[in-house]
Amino acid sequence: MNTSAPGVDTHEMVLIHRVIRREFGQLPRLFRSAANNPARSKIIGAHAREMLHFLHTHHTGEDELLFPLLRERAALDPELMNRMDTQHAQVNDAVAAISTELPMWTASADAAAGKQMAALIDATMPTLIDHLAEEEQKLLPIVSATLTQSEWDALGKHGMSAIPVTRRLIILGHITEETDEAERQKFLQVVPAPARLAYKLVGHRQFTRETTAIRG
Ligand SMILES: [Fe+2]
């Protein structure tokens, strides 16, 4: 494969966005469901922490490895790029606020704190949803024509390396949860063979067990 000429398949990012939409979409309900129940807030708190980190990593990867290359090489609508930055900043503020609150709530299951975090996510979801949709519709076609394969792979590696090794199979479960067969096969091509095998043998079961406990 020629990795120095522009032209990449960006569909991987659509799969990542599905995880973000799905998991953040249900976090408010999960926070509320754990009110005054510390056994449950420990489970939900750990999941929320993982997803906040996942979203944060996704955005910093774009900020550092994607947007600068696009700005350098493509004729971009300045309003669109400003909007992308503003949306990232808004979402990051919410992520930071919830990340600050989360450890205490995880230990205490304090109902008011849970409600507050739920409300903050509810208030941020429209921005996040608009952002992901606009990125898919307007930016990914430009990315696809602008980045080389190795540049695109660097973004994937940035995301992957931020996930602790012990959690990678669970994240793989999240990414493949809503894929159709063709999407799943395609995504699994970027997963090393030992991890694919481990997912088949134990990872999928672990993922199902965890998400069943989380979603209640
Ligand atoms: Fe994205």
Q: What ranges do the domains of the chain cover?
A: 11-162, 164-216
For the packed helices 181-188 and 11-33, what is the interaxial angle rounded to 10 degrees? 110
AA identity, residue 126 = P
- Compute the average pLDDT of residues 26-41: 98
- Compute the average pLDDT of residues 106-120: 98
Q: Residue 4 pLDDT > 80, yes or no? A: no
C-alpha 61 – ligand 1 centre gap (Å): 9
Rounded CA separation 98/114 (Å): 10
CB 70 within 8 A of CB 143: yes
Higher model confidence: residue 2 or residue 211? 211
pTM of the model: 0.95
C-alpha 47 – ligand 1 centre gap (Å): 20
Rounded CA separation 99/90 (Å): 14
Q: How confident is the model at residue 39 (pLDDT cuts 50, 70, 90)?
A: very high
Percent of residues, the chain, with pLDDT higher than 70: 99
C-alpha 33 – ligand 1 centre gap (Å): 29
Which residue from 84, 49, 83 is spatially nearest to 63, judged by alpha carbons?
84
Q: What is the mean pLDDT of the chain?
A: 95
Q: What's CA 83's distance to the chain center, in Å? A: 19
C-alpha 94 – ligand 1 centre gap (Å): 17
Rounded CA separation 211/216 (Å): 8
C-alpha 139 – ligand 1 centre gap (Å): 9
Rounded CA separation 125/127 (Å): 5
Which CATH number fits the domain 11-162, given the four candidates 1.10.3720.10, 1.20.1630.10, 3.30.300.30, 1.20.120.520? 1.20.120.520
Q: What integer pLDDT is reported at residue 3 of this predicted model?
A: 58
